[in-house]
Chain A
Amino acid sequence: MKLEITPRAAQRLSEIMAKDKNPNLALRIRVESGGCHGFQYLMSLITMPTGEGLESSTILNEDDSIFQYVPDETESTSPPPNSPKIILDEPSLELLTGSKVDFTQELIGSQFKIVDNPYASSSCGCGTSFDIKA
């Protein structure tokens, strides 16, 4: 299971973490049915529970996978302590593995975006909805 996080997306997440003074901030990406092509991406910012709260928290579930950003140029394989995190649950990860999470800056607006999803066969005009290869 692999997910690529672009430096731009990591940079933007770090900025949000700094602005909110919240080192436990993470980006959750979910795939739901809906939209004009059947599946859509839903993104939200969450605060990861720490310490004692971890056990009883409902924010993270058992089937969640946590991805952390590791810059390409670093030697170490373990991510730096405060590097940005992206959370995916199992069914969503199955439809997203191999994709790239980018932060796009376009005239229409700046946003986190999934690009190059190998499972998507077509997507709608706005890019939030897609169809999977059967």
Chain B
Amino acid sequence: MRSLSRRPLHDLSPNRICRTCNLPRRQFSSSLPSPPRPPASGIAPLASRQLLSVTGPDAAKFLQGIITANVVSSKGEPRTDPFYTAFLNATGRVLHDVFIYPVRGCAPGDSAQAAGDDGFLVEVDAAQINALMKYIKRYKLRAKVAFRAIDPAEISVWHAWNDTPNSTTLDIPAADPSRIVFQDPRAPGLGHRIIQLAGHKPPEVDVERATEDAYTIRRYLHGVPEGQDEILREQALPLESNMEHMNGIDFHKGCYVGQELTIRTKHRGVVRKRILPCVIYDRAKAAPPSLVYDPDPDSEAGGSPEALTADMIPAETSIGRSGKRGRSAGKWLRGVGNIGLGLCRLEIMTDVVLPGEQAAATFRDGDEFELEWGEEDNKSGVKVKAFVPEWLRRSIDGQQR
């Protein structure tokens, strides 16, 4: 770590220099200070998400063939409630994780569309919208569907939450036709998605306005991955990304792209790796007892200037066992401050007992894991601990019974 100080001065970008004294703010660190703790209740605009409209008489049938969730309700009628789902490729790897909002009549803002057509808004990682557009166009053939990327100024995506101990409900007028309000189905207590059909105008919800960082931190604390920086395109598997526990997969709907591997793994296989929330901590310190976001873990220790934060760790850094060689225990995905997400081998990093196996094969309480990155003579490293969220543990247990 000390060797980081050998960095040439011109490598320091302006945002690392304190404006008042013109000196580097964090001498040894290469990142900005970590964002503050999220407020107990808040609402945040999500610039990382963008919408795509799919309209036309064949829209429902068209989507049914290429997504993991069922477009038809359990009663056999077209679904009217929003839902979480994914697009997979033919070999069963995730291409995009999305929310789909059915819109009756013509899609909002789509005045060019004939009224009466079924429509859907598909919410996707904003960096991936062109890839998704290209992908679905391949499957259009003769189907009567039209696609359009929607400008964020036209319809915007928001997320609101309330963790206040006594009243965890949010007062959002749902009946308003200018917005779609939808409880995030991925994890209990995560919050609500709000699709603001009237563009940039923020929804009138009486909570603190927060940034997307606050949303991301809460998402990590709940262990919910999102977007292709965390659910890696053409690499991640839907079951390893916990999608079946986040209500994103219907195992009874019939054929869709990628169904073969997904259903075979569900019925015949074992999911050995899952995306889990992790805490990183200094190699010299003890493992943290719980999953808590701390923007500045060294503050009480007199402010260690060389603190390493999760955003410095390169994606897909291998997680190794402390003091042991052998195969990788998982890989790092993305993080902020002292928390983040990793794709973790359950039997090595957690006490989860896999179906058909006697006991947690190799995990012992007190086992420690490490992340190491950087050039050979200039390595940085932290320890990392994975946590199994309560909702996920319950869902996995329920499945095995």
Binding site for B on A (CB under 8 A): 30-40, 89, 91-92, 121-122, 124-125, 129, 131-132, 134
Residues on A with beta carbons closer than 8 Å to the beta carbon of B257: 35-38, 131
Q: Which of A32, A38, A91 contacts B90 (CB 8 A)?
A: A38
Asked if A122 and B91 make an inter-chain contact with CB atoms under 8 angstroms apart, the answer reads yes
Within 8 A of A (CB), among B23-77: 62, 65-66
A-B contact count (CB 8 A): 50
In the complex, what distance in Å separates the CA atom of A89 from the CA atom of B143? 13
Shortest distance from the beta carbon of B260 to any chain A beta carbon, whole Å = 5
The 4 lowest CB-CB distance pairs between A and B, nearest first, are: A33-B139, A34-B65, A131-B90, A37-B90
Shortest distance from the beta carbon of B156 to any chain A beta carbon, whole Å = 30
**Pairs across A and B, CB under 8 Å, 24 listed:** A30-B142, A33-B65, A33-B66, A33-B139, A35-B65, A36-B255, A36-B260, A37-B257, A37-B260, A38-B65, A38-B66, A38-B90, A38-B139, A38-B257, A89-B142, A91-B142, A122-B91, A124-B260, A125-B260, A131-B89, A131-B90, A131-B257, A132-B138, A134-B138
Asked if B140 and A129 make an inter-chain contact with CB atoms under 8 angstroms apart, the answer reads no
Chain B residues bordering chain A, tally (CB within 8 A)? 18
The answer to whether B284 has its CB under 8 Å from any CB of chain A is: no
Interface of B is mostly: loop
Residues on B with beta carbons closer than 8 Å to the beta carbon of A31: 141
Asked if A36 and B91 make an inter-chain contact with CB atoms under 8 angstroms apart, the answer reads no
The answer to whether B258 has its CB under 8 Å from any CB of chain A is: yes
Asked if A33 and B140 make an inter-chain contact with CB atoms under 8 angstroms apart, the answer reads yes
In the complex, what distance in Å separates the CA atom of A106 from the CA atom of B5? 72
In the complex, what distance in Å separates the CA atom of A33 from the CA atom of B257? 9
**Nearest CB in chain B to that of A94: its residue:** B141
In the complex, what distance in Å separates the CA atom of A39 from the CA atom of B62? 11
Shortest distance from the beta carbon of B95 to any chain A beta carbon, whole Å = 11
Residues on A with beta carbons closer than 8 Å to the beta carbon of B90: 36-38, 121-122, 131
Binding site for A on B (CB under 8 A): 62, 65-66, 89-91, 138-143, 255-260
Residues on A with beta carbons closer than 8 Å to the beta carbon of B91: 122
In the complex, what distance in Å separates the CA atom of A124 from the CA atom of B258? 10
In the complex, what distance in Å separates the CA atom of A134 from the CA atom of B62? 19
Residues on A with beta carbons closer than 8 Å to the beta carbon of B139: 33, 38-39
In the complex, what distance in Å separates the CA atom of A33 from the CA atom of B89? 13
In the complex, what distance in Å separates the CA atom of A118 from the CA atom of B66? 23
**18 more A-B residue pairs beyond the given contacts A33-B139, A35-B65, A36-B90, with a C-beta to C-beta distance below 8 A:** A31-B141, A32-B142, A33-B141, A33-B143, A34-B65, A34-B255, A36-B259, A36-B260, A37-B90, A38-B65, A38-B257, A89-B142, A121-B90, A122-B90, A122-B91, A124-B260, A131-B90, A134-B138
**Nearest CB in chain A to that of B62: its residue:** A33
Asked if B141 and A36 make an inter-chain contact with CB atoms under 8 angstroms apart, the answer reads no
Residues on B with beta carbons closer than 8 Å to the beta carbon of A131: 89-90, 257
**Nearest CB in chain B to that of A130: its residue:** B90
Residues on B with beta carbons closer than 8 Å to the beta carbon of A34: 65, 255
